[in-house]
Amino acid sequence: MLFLSDNAAAVHPAVWDALKAADEPDSPYDGDRLSAALDDRFSQLFGRPCTVLWAGTGTAANCLALATMVPPHGAVVCHDEAHIEMDEGGAPGFYLHGAKLILAEGTGAKLTPEAIRAAVDPIRDDVHQVQPHAISITQPSEYGCVYRPDEIAAIAELARERGLGLHMDGARFGNAVAFLDCAPGDAVGAADALSFGFIKNGGMSAEAIVFFDQELADVARYRRKRAGHLQSKGRFLAAQLHAMLERDVWLDNARHANAAAQEIARACETRLMHPVEANEVFVRCTADERDVLREKGFGFYDWGADAARFVTAWNTRDADAAALARAIASL
């Protein structure tokens, strides 16, 4: 019973069907009919014009988006536990050619305007100090905490006041939309770019970089090629994105994963480290207690010396979530 990561989940059957259907000759790179249709498809989803580029990984999606906003001598403001800081192996510095990450604090790995101001206000406006050029937030955060639309609006307003770009890392964006039960446009707010994750949510190897600023998209096309991410048979990435959007597969998958996480969370009571608002459950438990859970067949990651992280997925079986809930309750 695997709760290691939603990256470990199976590929949704609709994606396999779409890949098979796409297996016929078409124009290479992103000149195929499926890639060409992405802009309209996502514009309908978000209720405003956007330009969409596919990418093969979430790290590439994040970094290619940020590279359009931040010059090598600039910086990105992010949470000190953001994925771009903790889990991308220095890729932001590589793709952004040495640009800096300015780290801010916040409960549940979420930023606030106050935290952002505290990080950037001490920076003098002179050539001796790195200047911020963008803010990056994660929806939901690395601890599974979801930004409400008003929270995003407040950060977006600050970004506009300061002339900063706003990027959203949406590796689990579907889980945030499912939790908020709102339109996707409300969950992204006034961001300039969204890294829309599908791989954790039933996809195989395709993420979407959604640009709400056409000029950024024009820059990203060249950067994607230079970075080695312009795949020659791009129709197979585009096919995955279309398959996930068709009949709201992405949203149904996220709802199922969230529901499984809630099943587990109800059994944790005071052990919970953070509110469970998506598909991650962070639980206080000793090393001995984690050994007990593993002996019962549960796979998960330790989270420091005295906690564990459990991640549900689109195909988590109800029986497995219930079994884990009972096992945690019995500790």
pLDDT in tens, 169-183: 999 999 999 999 999
HSE (CB half, 13 Å, CA atoms) of 247? 5
Q: How confident is the model at residue 157 (pLDDT cuts 50, 70, 90)?
A: very high
Q: Where in the chain is the domain with CATH 3.40.640.10?
A: 10-248
Q: Where in the chain is the domain with CATH 3.90.1150.10?
A: 250-329
Nearest alpha carbon to residue 167 among 311, 72, 68, 309: 68
State whether CATH 3.90.1150.10 applies to domain 250-329.
yes
User: What pLDDT sits at residue 210?
Assistant: 98
Question: Both tokens of residue 164?
Answer: 């900063």
State whether CATH 3.30.70.360 applies to domain 10-248.
no
Q: How far apart are alpha carbons 105 and 315 in whole angstroms?
A: 34
- pLDDT, tens digit, for every residue of 250-279? 999 999 999 999 999 999 999 999 999 999
- pLDDT, tens digit, for every residue of 116-143? 999 999 999 999 999 999 999 999 999 9
- Are 119 and 130 in contact by the 8 Å Cβ rule? The answer is no
Average pLDDT over residues 202-207: 98
Q: How far apart are alpha carbons 157 and 163 in whole angstroms?
A: 10
User: What pLDDT sits at residue 2?
Assistant: 95
Helix (H) or strand (E) holding 219: helix 214-226
Q: How large a percentage of the chain has pLDDT more than 70?
A: 100
Q: Read off φ and ψ for residue 210, nearest 5 degrees.
A: -100, 115
Rounded to the nearest 10 degrees, the angle between the axes of helix 318-329 and helix 287-295 is 140
Average pLDDT over residues 85-107: 97
